Chain A
Amino acid sequence: MADDTIPLVELRHATKTYGRIAALEDFSLAIESGRPAITAIVGESGSGKTTLARMLLGLVAPTSGQVLYQGRDLHALSGTERRAFRRDIQAIFQDPYGVYNPFYRVDHVLTTPVARFRLASTRAEARNLIEDALRAVGLRPEEILGRYPHQLSGGQRQRVMVARALLLRPHLIVADEPVSMVDASLRATILGSLRQLNQERGISIIYITHDLATAYQVADNIIVLYRASVAEAGDVELVVRAPKHPYTQLLITSVPQVSPERMWLDEQRGGQRAETAHNGCKFAARCPVAMPVCQQSVPPLFRIDSRRVVACHHYAAPGDVQPEAMASVFAGE
């Protein structure tokens, strides 16, 4: 198979700008082939997480920097290599209705990849493949096949998309807000399927969301994005239970939890200082603990311990971490 030392997919200093607005800045991440993990990318709208997803899928080319597949630049791949890429990296999107062509039955989204990538040589074999995939996500084939998209619930449609991703035996699935348009009671099932895929079939998952709580439940590693840059990244238990970056802390305290203590409505501390244009940390204007240096220079990613990096001047230490070293922070040693 592929060389295990070359990362499956890698972003190197990838930047995407639209005019003067940076959607993603100097982002580096390596997804290894040998260590399938679930990485959550958490951020609010405008954080760059959607741009990140589209770059990983090759739908958008970076303005500068590179997107590499098996060590080769994604946008310079040959036809065959590109096909291999399309098989290896699959996607699950947010809207469980828009991804279905209303003209066809739901079978269409399953039979098309089987045909395109020649996964089966006979019709019977194809049928078996599809039914197995549906069962793997907890659906009964006889209840799904032959129906039109509007006849299934949102949760079922989304699970069919997971089944579809499964058919191609990818190494990586990029799930962009897969459950935000699904009822809360069904989210656990879908996320559970993803978790199962990771554990039983060794598929890496990139779970992109604004919902910190589900990210915590599902993922092993987490990257917190703020306005196109990484604020904090590392092992999910560390980042969520003991957040270091002021933005992460703000995010966590902003999530309303079911508990008898009601402190959520109390005014949060933190500045609403005017956003003066400066070259410093983007969070400085809202940061409750901003220092003068924060307005002057952008903090690089500092390594706090073996499993976490933070982009905040408060944690300045000798030997700051360069972005590409972020990969080794995850679920490794």
Chain B
Amino acid sequence: MTRGLEKVTGAAPAFTDPLPPTPSRKGRGRHFIVRYLRRNLSLAVGIILLSLLALFIVIGNLTVDTELARPLSVRALQPPSWDHPFGTDRQGRDLLAAMVAGTPLTLKIGFIAGFLGVGIGTLLAFVAGYYRGMTDTVIRGIADIGLTVPGLLVLIVIAVSVRGGLTVNEMAIIVASLAWLNPTRTIRAQVLTLRERGYVEVARLNGMSGPDIILREMMPNLLPYLAATLVSSVSAAILASIGLEVLGLGPLESPTLGMTLYWINFNAAILNGWWWWWVAPIVIILMVFLGLFFLTVGLDEIANPRLRQSV
């Protein structure tokens, strides 16, 4: 009785398949990045806007005397001039100095809060999404309840109860306390999907432990998504901090963007016609948010495999 597939195994050497030609390695590298950016306009615009801001901050801090951002440094309420390119405000701050000193402070709050939020959120999301069971129910329950409470309200309550003034770092922690809620939910959803992938099953068959699988197999595939979540989290944190500051609950001495807005409001700058006071911070805030927004959209395209094309 003939067993076996002799016809096949006999011809084994001839069966090594010629490989389909791969895209040439030369196409990679700088050339590739430029070409990609041309296709992913959002990413390009986002990077440009944020780079301009970064340049402004860096060059500004090198050329402008940030001491002038303190009150009573210069003559008050001067329109823009050669001496004071952005003009001055009612408390005697040079506005260019205030912007140069304050923007990084606002961004710092956003970054700290955003990173903390996504960091905690990722950890909780993986634990909940991978292990399921009671852990998942508890984490998900807390996040769900937390999400239904109006965030700004909670932040206001916390900010008001802190004795004395707030420092920039304290603001960051306060905002971070709520920033982890949304990332936990969204990242958990991604983890749930990834968990069912074939390669996760193979990893389990390899005897890999849970943390091993999470770190080595699942996390790398989530990096684009995490990046996009991080950027939008930073954006939300900045918004929350500006919101608190506009209400007067921020660090009163710092020239952060939100505090500047507060003083603008307090002094009725718009009604009084001191246009130079409010134009600069508005433009900068716009650049921050638009830059972060376009960056998010651009990163989204990388994160979403369906939009991704292999070139």
Please give the residue numbers on chain A whose beta carbons come within 8 Å of chain B beta carbons, in ascending order: 57, 59, 82-83, 86, 90-91, 93, 95, 97-104, 109, 112-113, 116-117, 138-140, 143, 147, 150-153, 155-156, 188-189, 191-192, 195-196, 199, 217-218, 220, 237
Contact = CB atoms under 8 A, between A and B. Distances in A.
Contacts of A102: 221
Contacts of A199: 4
B81 interface: no
Given A99-B202, A101-B221, A102-B221, A153 B207 contact: no
B19 A152 contact: yes
B9 A99 contact: no
Contact of B20 (A112, A151, A218): A151
A103 B310 contact: no
Nearest 7 CB-CB pairings of A with B: A98-B198, A192-B8, A99-B198, A103-B220, A101-B199, A192-B5, A86-B207
A138 B202 CA distance: 23
Interface residues of B, number: 30
A188 B16 contact: no
B147 to A, nearest CB: 31
Interface in B99-133: none
Given A102-B221, A116-B208, 7 more contacts: A57-B205, A93-B198, A97-B198, A99-B201, A100-B198, A113-B206, A151-B22
B52 to A, nearest CB: 33
Nearest to A151: B22
B8 A116 contact: no
A98 B8 contact: no
B136 interface: no
A147 B8 contact: no
A237 to B, nearest CB: 7
Contact of B205 (A86, A139, A195): A86
A95 B5 CA distance: 24
Contact of A188 (B5, B18, B197, B208): B5
B17 A156 contact: yes
A116 B206 contact: yes
Contacts of A196: 9
A99 B13 CA distance: 26
A138 B19 contact: no
Contact of A83 (B18, B204, B207, B310): B207
A143 B21 CA distance: 11
A148 B279 CA distance: 51
Contact of B1 (A57, A151, A156, A237): A237
A95 B17 contact: no
Nearest to A146: B22
B153 interface: no
Interface in B173-218: 197-199, 201-208, 217
B226 to A, nearest CB: 13
Nearest to B3: A220
A170 B15 CA distance: 25
B311 interface: no
Nearest to B8: A192
Contacts of B207: 82-83, 86, 116-117
